[in-house]
Structure 1
Amino acid sequence: MTPPPAPGPAASDAADRAAATAVARTAGADVPEGVVLLGVRHHGPGSARAVLAALDAYRPQAVLIEGPPEADVLVALAADPAMRPPVALLAHVVDDPARAAFWPFAEFSPEWVALRWAAKAGAEVRFIDLPAAHSLALRAPTGEEPAPPTVPEGVPAAPGAGPGGIDVRVDPLAVLAETAGYDDPERWWEDAVEHRGGADEGDPLAPFAALAEAMAAIRALHGDGGHDQDPVREAHMRLRLREARRAYERTAVVCGAWHVPALAGRTAVAADRQLLKGLPKAKVETTWVPWTHRRLARASGYGAGIDSPGWYRHLFTAADRPVTRWMTKVAGLLREEDLPVSSAHVIEAVRLADTLAAMRGRPLAGLGETTDAIRAVMCDGSDVPLALIRDRLVVGDVLGEVPPDAPAVPLARDLAREQRTLRLKPEALDRELDLDLRKDTDAARSRLLHRLVLLGVGWGEPARGRDGKGTFRETWRLRWEPELAVRVAEAGIWGTTVASAATAKAEDAAAHSGTLAEVTATAEACLLAGLPDALPVVMRVLADRAALDTDVAHLAAALPALVRAVRYGDVRGTDSAALGEVAEGLALRICVGLPPACTGLDADSAAAVRAQVEEVHRAVALLPDPALRDRWAAALRTLADRDETIPGLLRGAAARLLLDDGRLDAEQAARLMGLALSAGTGPAESAGWIEGFLAGGGMLLVHDEKLLALVDGWLGGVTAEAFSDVLPLLRRTFAEFEPGVRRTVGELARRGPSAVRRPGGEAAEPGLPGFGTTLDPSRAEAAAHTVRLLLGTTTTTDLGTHGDGGADDD
């Protein structure tokens, strides 16, 4: 690129004088002629304003920015009107997309301001940090480092970086704040930089000279103290800086303030090249991806030490009176939530914030003062509205946008096309999506979301649907996170479209599944995701595994998912006949093998099998073959009738399932309970039977006095020594009852023989506590009339009796 023409003589002289002033103030550092080093705090609005003022004053022909050189080809997109920050540069290894790094840019990032300025001024832009090909190759392979992708330390800021976001183990801002007498580096930074306003209008480069001098002093005192890659990175920066000096008369460098002394010092070219010699290298790809304020504020992954990106954005964009404008935003938010906030509240909050700032010796009210004022004036001292303000304003849910023509892997382009077609716009805010699978668009949305889940792209997760809406309803909770771009790049190894990639991933998952349950889960996912091409492969693996697996526990764990898959296939119009045949075969084998598999189990194993038995019971009820349901009932009856070789927990659970299905009447249930609670059965075994039998709910004891009498009589006969052993089991069982059921059972037991029919006795006071023993015809008629009105069966006689003005009008 041919360098743009230099500005006029007056502007050039002014720029040269400003540059000379900056050089003179850099603590003796030998800054090359024609270069200004703009040391910044990454994502600092004060640094961003200072960079903009310095670039306007110096008018460089080239702007060098700390970042991966592979992104030089993407610089032009920064000037695209469709590019809206926050955004991030993404670099990933082609053969291992999980090895990736982000370089985020917010609207208030100095690097982003420099990019925009250079695009407007026609200046050359180059990224000068260590190439991503080297920094990513220096990382361990993903198989050895399962941690999620993060920014390489110091590029431009690292996980665990200090509050300044500067990539060093010695936090320079903390050192400077302590030197200035502050115990909070953030507060010092706000007072020294963010609230300076136009204090340096006479010399826009003065703040950078002062910060460079401070960093030079800290590095001289503490040593380089940075990350292990810092010497290599700074060597590469110096080489790129030398190249720019040979091509341009005026060059500006925007980098982390920590690196300024290293770039200003004299170092031999050969020494720098020696540091870079022999570095590992990987093939990488780069692109722009959307980013979020919430991701900037996150402590894990790429946090950069920014606790309040929404507040920082406000400070950068508010032309004047930032506190007043902030209070107005807060008031608007609280009003949207129907909280009573008036203009008088705003006025008083601004006055209080200014007063607090003056009392604390601050040049301007910061986030702490505004928060205290909002709590006192607008929130009546409550922290509940403050949590909303922090979530919506201090952090914010801003999601950036990237032009459609930005480079992307084919899978990402296909996903973007699907999102546009189905009108599913990625959003940073949590969103619930209700789908009606009978509609073509909603069914297609469901297939897309299920395919992404299969690929490990967690854009949405299934949520519990609304009760009573049927199986054709589906609810998703959606939230787009920036790192999903890496997941999409990772999934690109499976195919170039979402459908083909999900198909290949499903086939591979089935072939490498460790258990039969995992294969059935994959089969279910194939039906939910609408992957007919993958289903035959998965079915072959499923049939082979099912034929060879003889463990009833494995079969029981696999059946529920398989039956759900058959059902979902019907809802979505998918042919699932083959799955139905396999499900019926698994159910038959479970019926045959269940009783022997339940023999001689300990307490923990019995509890696990009980949960599986209940799952299989629900699954068999959904299968269409009545003969299969009869076989299952016979297996349960075998369990219920067996002796103590089968744990009482399982025998009681089997009896309850049969009772609920109407395959066991009350007399038969009472006989089984009587046997389980007889004197010849140990107390612990009897308590286990009770736990299994009553797990379905306690209303049975309320309505069946005979069963309650059996339990009450057995419990009254337990010895004192055994009572302490059975009490925890009984408390756990009765704790699962609803409060009203527990209260009623307790009342019936408290009333003793008059309310509970003992074996061989009669109840003197039938009925429930609080209810009469006989029917009151007049009160019953009033209730019956209301029921007839609801059912629409009211007759003319009824209206005459209970109509307007009637004596019995209710």
Structure 2
Amino acid sequence: MAVTFIGVRHHSPACARLVAATIDELRPAYVLIEGPADLNDRIDELLLGHELPIAIFTSYRDEERRLGSWAPMCAYSPEWVALTHGQAAGAELRFIDLPAWHPALEGRSNRYADAELRYADVMERLCRSFDVDNVDVLWDHLFEFAPEDELAERLATYFDLVRGESAAGESDTAREAYMASWVRAATAAAGDRPVVVITGGFHRPALVAATDDHSGAGWPEVPTLPEGALGGSFLVPYSFRRLDAFDGYQSGMPSPAYYQELWESGLERAAQHLVESVAGRLRERKQAVSTADLIAARATAEGLATVRGHRHPARTDVLDGLASALVNEALDVPLPWSSRGTLRAGSHPVVVEMVAALSGTRVGRLHPGTPAPPLVHDLDVSLARFGLDGEADLDLDLTQPAERDRSQVLHRVRVLGVPGFHRGSGPSTGLDPVLRERWVLRPDPGRLTAVIEAGAYGATLSDACAAVLAERAAAAGRDVDALAAVLFDAALAGITDVSDQALADIDATVAAAADLGALGRMLAVVLTMWRHDRIFGTARTATSGRVIVAAVRRILWLAEGVRGGPAPADLPRIAALAACRDGLRHAGVALGLDIADALEVAGRVAADSGAPPDLRGAAFGLQWALADLTPGSGTDAAGAGADAAGADAAGADAVGADAVGADAVGLGADAVGLGADEAGSGADVAGVGADALRVVRGAFVPQSAGDWLAGLFALAREEVLHAEGVVGLLDELLSGMSADDFLVALPALRQAFEFFPPRERETIAGRLLARRGLGGTGRSLLRGVTEPEVVAAGMRLDEQVEALLLREGLVGGRD
């Protein structure tokens, strides 16, 4: 009995030829292949007659981790050749490696990533010895051009050198011990017949040493999924692009289209095909490639092959020749085939097209009888049921139940990342009044692959979508904007219930958030959906309610810790307090929020001279806006605000603020969500109005008044408008400013008054006219307003004239 070990580099035509020749010659009893042992009872699925490339996709999910792993195979993969030639020879076929979900393969999304890449120091020494740029060029030089009668010996020597005397890591040791148990069992079962073992070359030396003793060996058990875990393996279509090392794949073999031609037609034809592919692709993209260019490229490639010792031009010989002939200017980055890794940003456009031509466009196709995960069937049924399974351009009216159902299916597909479903327009935040969606549906060759891979999340479209959203919520960390996107996607997809773990992750994200602006944006969206969203079915859901409670508490907690002197008003944090106000007003009672406690926090912020002026103004506005919800709180709040404003009046520094319109924070009349019917009547706030006059007067320091007013107007715009005397007081204070003070305060004041929508500004203008006893309307006054800079210049001129008259004794003091 003999065991033949063949160490291979995955996706190598030379190794594939050696495997085929060995199996054909020995006709072994068993062919053992590095691959997932949990697929052994389904190996027949691999041999149904697929169009390559394909891959074995394994998914795994439990409470602590989720993974997806691929074991790709193309026509020149030694593993694939072992399967097909082993079947033809009548051998028993076995995969002998641990399942992809096993902890020994943790972090390996690609089972067939070459192990020698983990031993970079050895590879660097070999590359220096042979004077080549990288391991890909070294491999071609040593093996793809090697005579067939020398290949086996060269491979064994090479992998022995790569492995050396160093001990493997724990994961490789565990895998090799498991594979060795399969080898011992197969040799014992084979009797006098041969056994052929095909594994990555790195593992070969260890397996040879571990299988000397074959006595008493039984077939090893295949590990089963841990209790509570979900997972499985299925075949998926693959593509040359996903197989290409230049696109990020870790196989160690770039340019799959080139190696496919090498496998099918040999070295000389592969070089010719490479030139033809590059020239054809460049010409399709209107790049000039002349016959003279191609002759020069061929001559250069042949010269390089001679110098480098190749009997025919190798891949890099041809590429270097093409680059020399077609790229006439200096390169910003090195040629991609001179190193390992993905294509770098800044690569020359001609070079990018060359790499793409070598990658190829081939996409695999599974045999129609290939088993698929339940999600594939559920998606097919859902698409057919709603008429979404063909090519279409859709315009959906979300107010219509039938079209809303179609939209939810499409959003579930979108969340799963299935290609071929593109939404051109539709609601984007939950605040926009968009009630139509446009979708473009087109067939896509990657659709089946994406759906099979998404099957790791669940058996149905709804379950899989919910699992993806839960995963995104867990990954949000402190990114509240990401969490808001998750919640809105859940609404669009009709996913109203989430798991306890997802709720815990949402709570954790909100609890860890440090950005007031982001929290405010999320709260505004979720509150709108909780209050009004009958279209997406999110009104009064438990999930949105829980987010509202957590966000309101977090915003108040963060606001109390903000410190800073006079500065331009921070519009996002003002918006956060406005969202907090709306949450307390519209959901506080229903969700059990303590409004009195919230007002106490606001009172402390309003009275804190160390807090920024805009935040103090917003905190006082929050108290004022909610005064009608807690009897007696309005007067106390106003008093606290007045004390704070008076204390701050003496220490304000100058500040330069850019004029930013209300659109910058989305807090116009509609955005804050407060109509006159919601804000409370003048009678409701009359008790606060008298103290508000004192507060405003105390806070009106030119250097910070505009910022303080911005916070106040954003939170209590309606209250200011209805309170007796506040508009008149502001007129008095503004009119009494010097020209210099007015210019200093102007940017912040303009920003503050932008919180009033046009109709309310017209009301204010009308009151100013009446206060001065002038005729006309507010609208006419607004239309005739001179630019504030001109007003300031006029004020300065008036002051200069008055000072001159006083100096000359022409006014004041004379009879």
Match of 1:102 in 2: 70
Identical-residue share of aligned pairs (%): 23
Match of 2:395 in 1: 436
TM-superposed deviation, 1:63: 1.7
Match of 1:488 in 2: 454
- 2:99 matches 1:132: yes
| Contact 1:293/1:399 (<8 A) preserved | yes
TM-superposed deviation, 1:175: 4.9
| Contact 2:59/2:456 (<8 A) preserved | no
Equivalent residue letter for 2:280: G
Match of 2:357 in 1: 393
1:51-91 Cα offsets, whole Å, 9 max, x none, are 23433344434321112221112321222234531413426
Match of 1:39 in 2: 7
| Contact 2:416/2:468 (<8 A) preserved | yes
SS in structure 2 at match of 1:50: helix
Partner Cα distance (1:303, 1:568) in 2 = 49
Match of 1:192 in 2: 142
Q: 1:573-612 to 2 correspondence within 5 Å?
A: 574=536, 586=583, 588=585, 600=608, 602-603=611-612, 606=615
SS in structure 2 at match of 1:132: coil
Cα distance change, pair 606–560 in 1 and its aligned pair in 2 (3 A):
same
Q: 1:187-336 to 2 correspondence within 5 Å?
A: 187-196=137-146, 199-200=147-148, 203=149, 206-216=150-160, 219=163, 222-245=164-187, 246-247=189-190, 249-265=193-209, 267=211, 269=213, 282=226, 285-297=232-244, 303-319=250-266, 320-336=268-284
Q: 1:41-120 to 2 correspondence within 5 Å?
A: 41-90=9-58, 92=60, 98-99=66-67, 101-120=69-88
Instruction: Return the match for 2:299 from 347, 351, 358.
Output: 351
| Contact 2:53/2:238 (<8 A) preserved | yes
Match of 1:369 in 2: 317
TM superposition score normalised by structure 2? 0.59
| Contact 1:64/1:127 (<8 A) preserved | yes
| Contact 1:292/1:397 (<8 A) preserved | yes
| Contact 2:52/2:74 (<8 A) preserved | no
Equivalent residue letter for 1:586: G
- 2:497 matches 1:497: no
TM-superposed deviation, 1:41: 0.7
TM-superposed deviation, 1:333: 1.8
Query: Structure 1 residues 297-306 or 253-262, which shifts more?
Result: 297-306
Equivalent residue letter for 1:235: A
| Contact 1:354/1:364 (<8 A) preserved | yes
| Contact 1:526/1:534 (<8 A) preserved | no
SS in structure 2 at match of 1:321: helix
Q: 1:728-807 to 2 correspondence within 5 Å?
A: none
Query: Structure 1 residues 74-83 or 577-586, which shifts more?
Result: 577-586
TM-superposed deviation, 1:292: 4.3
- 2:378 matches 1:414: yes
| Contact 2:667/2:714 (<8 A) preserved | no
Partner Cα distance (1:680, 1:46) in 2 = 83
Cα distance change, pair 242–514 in 1 and its aligned pair in 2 (3 A):
closer
Match of 2:707 in 1: 649
Equivalent residue letter for 1:436: D
1:108-131 Cα offsets, whole Å, 9 max, x none, are 3211222233344443211122x3
SS in structure 2 at match of 1:60: coil
Equivalent residue letter for 1:108: Y
- 2:141 matches 1:157: no
TM-superposed deviation, 1:291: 3.8
Partner Cα distance (1:479, 1:629) in 2 = 55
1:166-224 Cα offsets, whole Å, 9 max, x none, are xx54765545444445453322211121234xx32xx4xx41233213434555xx414
Match of 2:787 in 1: 706
TM-superposed deviation, 1:136: 1.1
Match of 1:448 in 2: 409
SS in structure 2 at match of 1:56: helix
Equivalent residue letter for 1:651: L
TM superposition score normalised by structure 1? 0.60
Query: Structure 1 residues 108-117 or 602-611, which shifts more?
Result: 602-611
Partner Cα distance (1:332, 1:668) in 2 = 78
Extract unaligned runs of 5+ from structure 1. Answer: 1-31, 141-148, 427-431, 714-755, 763-810
Equivalent residue letter for 1:254: I
Cα distance change, pair 373–151 in 1 and its aligned pair in 2 (3 A):
same
SS in structure 2 at match of 1:252: strand
SS in structure 2 at match of 1:117: helix
Partner Cα distance (2:434, 2:133) in 1 = 59
| Contact 2:7/2:155 (<8 A) preserved | yes
Match of 2:645 in 1: none
Partner Cα distance (2:519, 2:132) in 1 = 65
TM-superposed deviation, 1:528: 0.8
Partner Cα distance (2:728, 2:700) in 1 = 21
Cα distance change, pair 407–180 in 1 and its aligned pair in 2 (3 A):
same
1:136-188 Cα offsets, whole Å, 9 max, x none, are 14578xxxxxxxx5248xx5436xx444xxxx547655454444454533222
Equivalent residue letter for 1:355: G
Partner Cα distance (1:392, 1:675) in 2 = 71
Query: Could you say what the CA RMSD is over the residues aligned between the two structures, in angstroms?
Result: 6.2
Partner Cα distance (1:110, 1:530) in 2 = 46
Q: 1:539-618 to 2 correspondence within 5 Å?
A: 556-562=520-526, 565=529, 574=536, 586=583, 588=585, 600=608, 602-603=611-612, 606=615, 615=665, 617=667
Cα distance change, pair 244–270 in 1 and its aligned pair in 2 (3 A):
closer
| Contact 1:62/1:123 (<8 A) preserved | yes
Partner Cα distance (1:390, 1:466) in 2 = 41
| Contact 1:652/1:691 (<8 A) preserved | yes
| Contact 1:169/1:225 (<8 A) preserved | no
| Contact 1:556/1:613 (<8 A) preserved | no
TM-superposed deviation, 1:40: 0.8
Partner Cα distance (1:343, 1:640) in 2 = 82
| Contact 2:282/2:350 (<8 A) preserved | no
Aligned length in residues:
629
- 2:348 matches 1:384: yes
TM-superposed deviation, 1:529: 0.9
Partner Cα distance (2:454, 2:216) in 1 = 37
| Contact 1:60/1:123 (<8 A) preserved | yes
